[in-house]
Amino acid sequence: MTGPDISVMVVDDHPMWRNGVARDLEERGFEVGATTGDAVSALRIARTVRPDVVLMDLNLGDTSGVEATRQITQEIPGTRVLVLSASGEHGDVLEAVKAGASGYLVKSASVDELVDAVRRTAVGDAVFTAGLAGLVLGEYRRMAIAPDAGSQAPQLTDRETDVLRQVAKGLTARQIASKLVISHRTVENHVQSTLRKLQLHNRVELARYAIEHGLDEDGAFGKQ
């Protein structure tokens, strides 16, 4: 996919930033279908516009960007969410990724990095920064040693652990591929699979929580 084939929606409550990103993307040939500053209209607009990629800020005024991410990725199958946040690589980024975001980029990233990340997100790749890899790795480690996690908690294979550690140490996919003597594509697949397992587990946990608390199955959970 090249620029013009990809439609993007920008969700950020800071107008200056929102417009700046939209302009940058349009200059590179992306189609910025919509921009909005709050999570509620983000979900509404995304349902009709069905963008390929939603660029999501996590600090929104109304509901959190994490909830918006969860609802968009669950309700609109073709749409992928790329988190673009200034909040630093902390818990909320991990939560957004667990909720279904396919990647994360810091706001201080260059336009080239942004463009590359949007392209990769559109084709279904996971966009990982070293910081996000550290968070995801930490989450698997936490589940592995948590006494209550039991056997349902997802685990990384040795290879996945290895790949994730290299990403967290700043190696590019290409460098990792040559270091581990595997193909570039295999590296991408490993990274994606670590994310998918985490998201699946998160969804199962939420569903179980919903059932235990007697909530309605369809869409009632997550809105609290």
Binding residues for other proteins, rule: CB under 8 A, are 14, 16-17, 20, 24, 59, 86-91, 94, 107-108, 110-111, 129-131, 133-135, 137-142, 144-145, 158-159, 161-162, 165, 168-170
Residue 50 vs 159, nearer CB to other proteins: 159
Residue 21 vs 79, nearer CB to other proteins: 21
Least CB distance from residue 220 to other proteins, whole Å?
A: 27
10: which strand partners?
35, 55
Residue 1 vs 157, nearer CB to other proteins: 157
Least CB distance from residue 76 to other proteins, whole Å?
A: 26
Residue 49 vs 130, nearer CB to other proteins: 130
Do 175 and 218 touch, CB atoms closer than 8 A?
no
Least CB distance from residue 11 to other proteins, whole Å?
A: 13
At 16, list the tokens.
């200056």
Do 54 and 46 touch, CB atoms closer than 8 A?
yes
DSSP codes of every residue in 102-153: -EEEETTS-HHHHHHHHHHHHTT--B--HHHHHHHHHHHHHHHH-TT-TTTS
Contacts of 91 (CB under 8 A, 6+ apart): none
Half-sphere exposure (CA, 13 Å, Cβ side) for 199? 19
Residue 6 vs 133, nearer CB to other proteins: 133
Least CB distance from residue 58 to other proteins, whole Å?
A: 10
The whole-angstrom distance between residue 153's C-alpha and the CA centroid of its chain comes to 20
Least CB distance from residue 173 to other proteins, whole Å?
A: 15
Least CB distance from residue 21 to other proteins, whole Å?
A: 8
Residue 50 vs 165, nearer CB to other proteins: 165
The whole-angstrom distance between residue 114's C-alpha and the CA centroid of its chain comes to 14
9: which strand partners?
34, 54
At 30, list the tokens.
């992306």
